[in-house]
Amino acid sequence: MKTLRVAVLMHEALVPPEKAESEAAKTAAPWRTEYDVLTSLRAMGHEAWPVGAGDDLEPVRRALDERRPDIVFNLLEEFRGSRTYAPYVPAYLDLIGQPYTGCNPRGMILSHSKALANRILRSHRVRVPDFALFERDRRIRRPRRLSFPLLVKSATEHGSVGISQASIVRDDEQLRQRVEMVHAQLGTDAVAEQYIEGREFYVGVLGNRRLETLPVWELTFENLPDNVPNIATARVKWDAQYQKSRGVTTGEARDLSEPQRVHLLRMCKRAYRALDQSGYARMDLRQSAEGDMYLLECNHNPQLALGEDFADSAHAAGLPYAKLLQRILNLGLRQRAQAHE
């Protein structure tokens, strides 16, 4: 394996310490992914260093100019405090001919907007929940074809920001209140989707042209009262204590029939291509009680920390962390070559 010079691009506030004080301190830290990627790349023999980005592109430009990496490992999820600007960073890297890992700017723009992604997916025969977009400063009027219950979420936020049990609405008054909450508190447009009651799955996909899917992962709750819906609220995703009390776990999905599994994985690959993804992505899906599979969203450059779904499911597929990171680096190096074919 060739030793690479890797600049790990990350938010300036997430540049990790050289060494985590303890495993526990690391687990709770916001820079967990950044730490895991940096330390693992070094352990693999690569020369890896962090480049912090904030409000200004100039320091990034200078940092890349000074050390001329073979590749940028792109962990940047926002720029100048906004996710909307995140695609322009790899766009800049494309312009200066700098190879990087993960998604290309076009794929980032397409998967960033849930409404745009849903429209594209539908036209590619990928089943998505029926939905309506509620833009800020517009009257909130439910299209008649959309019936309750609905799930209201931000059109552009990620990581279950703004998702709680109250996101599931059962009448027009609740719908209006929740959409207004998303507009006012998250400052984004909102989408209301047909609520899919059923199982929830996550599927990792790797590749640029030839795609590989990771094993189907499922979110499960051991102690969820009957009247509480099994959705990934912000607490379910981020609150360790709550996870314990509800018995939240994720692991390889059981009892999926072979045709269901094949259908699911094909659907994920079709979505990946339809949304122009590259490098790696994670699809979030739900299966209705009738057995229909719906794609909820495509996450470009998904959470890569050790012990999280993407890395865990890669491990189960025979790609332990170092191999996974190497695969992502190789795809990044190849992506640029392909762009010039």
Ligand X SMILES: Nc1ncnc2c1ncn2[C@@H]1O[C@H](COP(=O)(O)OP(=O)(O)O)[C@@H](O)[C@H]1O
- Choose the one of ligand X, Mg ion, none that binds residue 104, judging by a C-beta under 5 to 8 angstroms depending on kind: none
Footprint of Mg ion on residues 275-314 (CB under 5 A)?
A: 284
Give me the helices (H) in 124-233, please.
172-181
Does residue 243 contact residue 232 with C-beta atoms inside 8 Å?
Answer: no
Rounded Cα distance, 134 and 113, in Å = 13
> Least Å distance between CB 150 and ligand X?
8
Q: Is 110 in the site for ligand X (CB under 6 A)?
A: no
Q: Which positions ≥6 away from 321 have C-beta within 8 Å? A: 36, 40, 306, 311, 314, 315
Give me the long-range contacts of 256-262 (CB less than 8 A, separation at least 24): 256/216, 260/287, 260/291, 260/293, 261/216
The DSSP secondary-structure symbol of 12 reads G
Query: Toward ligand X, which CB reaches closer, 20 or 133?
Result: 133
- Pick from 121, 232, 304, 325: which binds ligand X (CB under 6 A)? 232
Query: Toward Mg ion, which CB reaches closer, 218 or 284?
Result: 284
Considering only 157-165, 258-266, 272-280, 323-331, which stretch makes contact with ligand X by CB under 6 A?
157-165
Rounded Cα distance, 230 and 242, in Å = 13
Does residue 324 contact residue 282 with C-beta atoms inside 8 Å?
Answer: no
CA–CA–CA angle 320, 199, 115 (5° rounding): 90
Query: Toward Mg ion, which CB reaches closer, 69 or 302?
Result: 302
CB-nearest residue to Mg ion: 284
User: Measuring CA to CA, which residue among 72, 6, 89 is closest to residue 41?
Assistant: 6
- Choose the one of Mg ion, ligand X, none that binds residue 151, judging by a C-beta under 5 to 8 angstroms depending on kind: ligand X
- Pick from 17, 159, 247, 307: which binds ligand X (CB under 6 A)? 159
Query: Toward ligand X, which CB reaches closer, 120 or 163?
Result: 163
Query: Residue type at 124?
Result: H
Query: Toward ligand X, which CB reaches closer, 69 or 129?
Result: 129
The DSSP secondary-structure symbol of 201 reads E
Handedness of CA 81, 86, 91, 94 (dihedral sign): positive
> Least Å distance between CB 93 and ligand X?
24
Q: Is 129 in the site for ligand X (CB under 6 A)?
A: yes
Footprint of ligand X on residues 265-304 (CB under 6 A)?
A: 284, 286, 296-297
Query: Toward ligand X, which CB reaches closer, 70 or 197?
Result: 197
- Pick from 8, 196, 206, 329: which binds ligand X (CB under 6 A)? 196
Does residue 104 contact residue 90 with C-beta atoms inside 8 Å?
Answer: yes
Q: Is 193 in the site for Mg ion (CB under 5 A)?
A: no
* 171's tokens: 């009448």
> Least Å distance between CB 217 and ligand X?
12
Interface residues with Mg ion (CB under 5 A) are 284
Interface residues with ligand X (CB under 6 A) are 129, 151, 153, 158-160, 163, 193-196, 200, 231-232, 284, 286, 296-297
